[in-house]
Amino acid sequence: MNNDFSPSDWYSDHYSDINVSADPNSLAFRFLHQKIEKSCPKGQYPNILEVGSNNGEHISFVSRNWERYIALDLRLPSSEIYEKFKGLDVSFEEGDVQAMPYPDNSFDRIISTCVMHHVNSPEGAFREMLRVTKSGGIISIAVPNDPGLSYRFLRHITSVRRAKKMNLKEELNLVHALEHKNHFLSIDAILKWVFINQEVRVSRYPNIFRFWHLNFLTVYTIRKKI
């Protein structure tokens, strides 16, 4: 690794190969995306916005009764990804969750998968999500319990082990340090403050104990009341 190392390029080149949560063949990948959908109330969500969508990994887990599915990310995916979702009313758009280019009350559902550790302002991101969600709409937010003991242990025996075999452990640790700006407890406190007047349900996994260190994933399901 040298001074020209680029975290953005690293994500493009290695993210899906090393991070098990982005590997469609891994148990962790399926577990994450299935739990988000399990927590979402049954209903019709014709207009869906996913923020931090990357290459659209979550889309196949969502019940396909939408009329419009916007996958928003800081970077647009490759042409192969566009082809994969051709004909499914999915559009990939470039933008920042902290300042989204959509009118108020635009979407029936918002989905955020492991994004809040990365943003500069979780408060700004949460307020934007609330702004563009229709009254009665659902916001699904999945947050890894980093730096909790359970999360760190799971990461060590999966992603870190893969990186070590590929001689990329040093790069992985640097990218993780640069990108995971926000502590789980900070995200949790800010979320509950921003959504204080909304209906919030919290699901912890594996939920053997409520202590945050012993759970590696938390899914928040928020229904917008006002």
Q: Tokens 């049954």, residue?
A: 42
pLDDT beyond 90 at 20: no
* pLDDT value of position 95: 96
Would you place residue 14 in the very low, low, confident or very high pLDDT band (cuts 50, 70, 90)?
Answer: confident
Q: Is the pLDDT higher at 20 or at 139?
A: 139
Tell me what the pLDDT averaged over the chain comes to: 92
- Residues 6 or more apart from 41 whose CB is under 8 A from it? 138, 221, 223
DSSP one-letter code for 160: I
pLDDT beyond 80 at 125: yes
Q: Is 51 helix (H, G, I), strand (E, B) or coil?
A: strand
Task: Summarize pLDDT for 153-180 with one digit per residue, the tens.
Answer: 999 999 999 999 999 898 888 888 888 8
The percent of residues in the chain predicted with pLDDT above 90, rounded, is: 71
The percent of residues in the chain predicted with pLDDT above 70, rounded, is: 98
Average pLDDT over residues 142-153: 95
Backbone angles phi, psi at 4, to 5 degrees: -90, 5
**Distance of alpha carbon 200 from alpha carbon 223, whole angstroms:** 7
pLDDT beyond 90 at 5: no
Average pLDDT over residues 74-79: 89
Average pLDDT over residues 9-37: 85
The two beta strands, 217-223 and 107-113, are unpaired
* pLDDT value of position 2: 65
Tokens found for residue 72 = 């928003």
pLDDT beyond 80 at 181: yes
**Distance of alpha carbon 82 from alpha carbon 155, whole angstroms:** 30
Cis peptide bond N-terminal to 7, omega within 30: no
Per the CB < 8 A criterion, the answer to whether 202 and 218 are in contact is yes
- Residues 6 or more apart from 134 whose CB is under 8 A from it? 47, 105, 106, 107, 108, 224
| 10-14, 60-64, 145-149: least confidently modelled range | 10-14
Q: Tokens 């509950």, residue?
A: 192
Residue 36, Cβ neighbours under 10 Å: how many? 24
Per the CB < 8 A criterion, the answer to whether 28 and 193 are in contact is no
Residue 7, Cβ neighbours under 10 Å: how many? 14
- Conformation bin of residue 142: beta by default, left when phi > 0, alpha when psi is -120 to 50: beta
Would you place residue 32 in the very low, low, confident or very high pLDDT band (cuts 50, 70, 90)?
Answer: very high
* pLDDT value of position 10: 74
- Residues 6 or more apart from 97 whose CB is under 8 A from it? 51, 52, 72, 112, 115, 119, 125, 128, 129
* pLDDT value of position 1: 61
